[in-house]
Amino acid sequence: MRCCSERREERAPMYFEDRYSRRIFISRVLMIVAINLLMTTLILTFCVFHMGARKFLLKHWYIGLVGIVIILIFSFLMCCCSFLFRSSPCKYILLVIYVLAHACVVCSAGVRYQPKLVFIAVASCAAIVVLLFLFARFAPCDFTGCWIFVFVLSLVVMIMGIVAIFFPTIRIVYASLGVLLFCVYIVIDIQLIIGGRTHKNQFDESDYVLAAMMLYSDIVFLFLFLLDLIGLIDA
């Protein structure tokens, strides 16, 4: 998904010379993200506390895998066919499908934990995202050009995930690295959204749906890694 942002390095600054346009863009992105997160949280709450929905998801465990496959397909589209996320009504249809896919993954994971642990993970994720937003906004350093570091960290997390399948004892290390990785992703997303002369890269003005989808996805996966980590600590 990150390659979508890298290609905007040369042409992005001209779109945001006007501060008012940038504020409108940021407001649109944050509003879409907030609505998506609210809908996902409501669906998760229903599935966690409704016994029928909980049993259904535990029985049909493959629903989460279907969601993961859809998310991977969308990641490819974001990199190679980003124009789809700029044209109406296509971008809104894709947004709805994307949110539903994440909801499937979140609910399939959430029903496997006690409601108390899910609530702790939601609260922890919300607090971390607020802190990351403040850090990304006021930090003097620019993370939007740190693609090599992010790529290496992503590879490490991927390898650790494969190793953790055969050696479950290191799952807590894998979950911790996953939390770190998506914290970095969220900081990069926020700086790409905020833009400005202090950041090497930024989104185009027409990419508010794409920007919202990227930030939303990274917040959801941060929650999933936090939930896994909290579950392991509790166990």
**Structural domain that includes position 101:** 3-234
Tell me if residue 142 falls in helix, strand or coil.
coil
Which H or E run includes 33?
Answer: helix 19-49
Model pLDDT for residues 134-157, shown as the tens digit of each residue: 998 887 787 777 788 888 999 999
Return the percentage of the chain with pLDDT > 70, whole number: 90
Model pLDDT for residues 45-71, shown as the tens digit of each residue: 999 999 999 999 999 999 999 999 999
Number of domains in the chain: 1
The identity of residue 91, as a single letter, is: K
